[in-house]
Amino acid sequence: MTPNVSSFSGGSLLLAWQLKDKRVLIVGGGDVASGRIESVLVADALITLVAPSPSLHPVTQKFIQESPRITYHDRLFAGPSDLDGVHMVLTALDDVDKSREICALCRDRRIPVNVADIPPSCDFYFGSQVRSGPLQIMISTNGQSPKLANIIRRKIEATLPEHAGEAVEKVGELRTKLRDRAPGVGGELGKRRMRWMVDVCTAWDMEDLAALDEEMMIRLLDDGWEKNTVLKPDDLAGLKRKHPAAAASSASPLSAAVLPTAVGFALGVAATACLLLAPARR
């Protein structure tokens, strides 16, 4: 399988930037800034927010009130001293000259910067996002069409397995337990560990993975890993129960608002179609 080198161009390098306990300066407090604050909080950063209070969006105000991770200054950008100890800068201002000035200061100090609406002043862009626990998905059209990015995001949300985020979380827990039981970096054991985790993820579907609890994980390790085999969900029948949310037939939403409606609609369509088409199909 040889890749076609000449087709590699026109894109960005998609990254998952690590911000845990790093300081991010956000200049501006409007609608765009409130979206930035959410993205940065998700990454466990510390935020310094600089914006005059009359310009604050209601969502930004809510963030300031509720998040202990935000230090708020009711003023305009004060100059280079605002950049001390800062790991990343995001500006969302209407003042183009001020935005460019902040960008230049960041570039001098090699601080990664994004200036909303001025692509040449951006070291990186944002994209449309789907988030479900530790699972994050970004859709970028590289500036060609934010609307299509949004449409594609909704399609992905609608087709993503319902409990994908929980499945990822549980597999992460199982992996940690396995590492505690069979520790060490690399080598034969590392390879066996990796193979076993891959086998579990392949043999189990997302819903079953999402339903794993403490007891089931220990059984998987005791009777699976230790005996060099992978138990199937049915092998844990005594312990296994359907995912609580699924049992109560409440679809736990991926996107906060849209998914439940979409899933409901799709189920309605499917049910109706089955009813109407079934007798004719034989």
| Range 85-144, binding a second copy (CB under 8 A) | 109-112, 122-127, 129, 131, 133-144
Q: Which stretch binds a second copy (CB under 8 A): 214-222, 223-231, 252-260, 273-281?
A: 252-260
* Backbone angle region of 92, left / alpha / beta, with phi > 0 → left and psi within -120 to 50 → alpha: beta
User: Given candidates 53, 145, 229, 272, which one binds a second copy under the rule CB under 8 A?
Assistant: 145
Q: Is 222 a catalytic residue?
A: no
233 near a second copy, rule: CB under 8 A: no
Give the pair of three-digit tokens for residue 73: 């200054």
User: What three-state secondary structure class fits 71?
Assistant: strand
* Residue 262 near a second copy by CB under 8 A: no
Choosing from 44, 108, 117, 223, which is the catalytic residue? 117
What is the DSSP secondary-structure string of 177-194? HHHHHS--SSHHHHHHHH
One DSSP character per residue, 252-268 reads --SSSSHHHHHHHHHHH
247 contacts: CB under 8 Å, gap ≥ 6 = 241
In the complex, least distance from residue 180 CB atom to a second copy, rounded to whole angstroms = 16
8, amino acid identity = F
- Interacting residue with a second copy among 2, 81, 228, 249 (CB under 8 A): 2
Q: Please state at what angle helix 258-281 crosses helix 146-159, rounded to 10 degrees.
A: 60
62 contacts: CB under 8 Å, gap ≥ 6: none
> Is residue 39 part of the contact set for a second copy (CB under 8 A)?
yes
Other CB atoms within 10 Å distance of the CB of residue 99: 22
- Considering only 52, 75, 104, 148, the residue that binds a second copy (CB under 8 A) is 148
Give yes or no for residue 265 binding a second copy (CB under 8 A): no
Give the span between the Cα atoms of 60 and 32, in whole angstroms.
10
Q: Which residues in the 166-195 window bind a second copy by CB under 8 A?
A: 167-169, 171-172, 175
* Residue 43 found at the interface with a second copy (CB under 8 A): yes
Nearer to a second copy, 1 or 276 (CB): 1
Q: Binding to a second copy by residue 3, rule CB under 8 A?
A: yes
Active site residues: 117
